[in-house]
Amino acid sequence: MGGRPGQGRGCPPAGLEVQQIDTGAFADDDRQHQWLEGSGFERVRTWWQMSRPVTSDEATLTGSPDHWEQDGVVFRLVRRTGAGMPDESDLREVHEVLESAFVDHFNSYEETFEEFLFRLREDPGHRWDHWWLAELTDDETPQPVGALVGTVSESSSGPDGSYVAYLGVLEAARGRGVAKGLLRTIIADAASRGRDRVGLEVDADSPTGAAGLYTSMGWKTKYVTESWHRDVPVDPDQG
């Protein structure tokens, strides 16, 4: 729910007979559309690129964005070890939550923990202090049910922004305010850092209703992009 579940996850692993080529285009770029169609690509998905302004007073939206609780749900940053690195067990919880939350989403495939970490750390906006977990506290042992991976959107002409790279909530926990709480967390965090916006990308065709949540919380669509795919048979005798 939220972010782009298919981003970076659409290419089949090595050894399969078909390789998927994934490219994109702006929704109003008719010239690019004609070129893609003529090259055998098919339009498969539409994405809304959304942004929400952030004001300084929203720094208190959640109390501390590092750790807060509401209605039996704890929202917290991933823990750090004594050496300052993120706790591996927390990172594994983030990975497991997102894998489970996106299992039925468009263009998603199973990704190992190592692949997941390597790919996200390659993002220029990657910061460990932008990773949050949401845990239910109904039982003695907190149960991770939601995760948000944020990044920094740097600007050369004004304040930086924050970006929701991934937001996932387990199906069993939906309706508990987990997604909304995680979004409030990154808004409060952005405000506390002096940032002026939070961006995200949402699947316009998603059945989860995520776009409605974003709109209700102040996000607006800035522009629309599309995913175009072409499946190419892999010749095992070449390469």
Q: What is the pLDDT of residues 41-56, one digit of tens each?
A: 999 999 999 999 999 9
If you write DSSP's letter for every residue of 61-115 in order, what string do you get? Answer: SSS-TTEEEETTEEEEEPPB-TTSSBPHHHHHHHHHHHHHHTTTSTT-----HHH
52, β-bridge pairs? 198
Domains delineated in the chain: 18-233 (3.40.630.30)
CA dist., res. 77 & res. 133, Å (int) = 6
Sign of CA dihedral 128, 103, 178, 162: positive
**pLDDT score recorded for residue 238:** 54
What's the pTM? 0.88
25: helix, strand or coil: strand
Strand 197-203 vs strand 42-53: parallel, antiparallel, or unpaired?
antiparallel
CA dist., res. 154 & res. 158, Å (int) = 9
Kindly tell me if the per-residue pLDDT of 139 is higher than 70.
yes
Radius of gyration, CA atoms only, the chain: 19
Q: What is the pLDDT of residues 190-205, one digit of tens each?
A: 999 999 999 999 998 8
Q: What is the DSSP letter of 12?
A: P
Query: Residue 17: which pLDDT band, with cuts at 50, 70 and 90?
Result: confident
**DSSP H or E segment with residue 186:** helix 178-192
CA dist., res. 162 & res. 196, Å (int) = 8
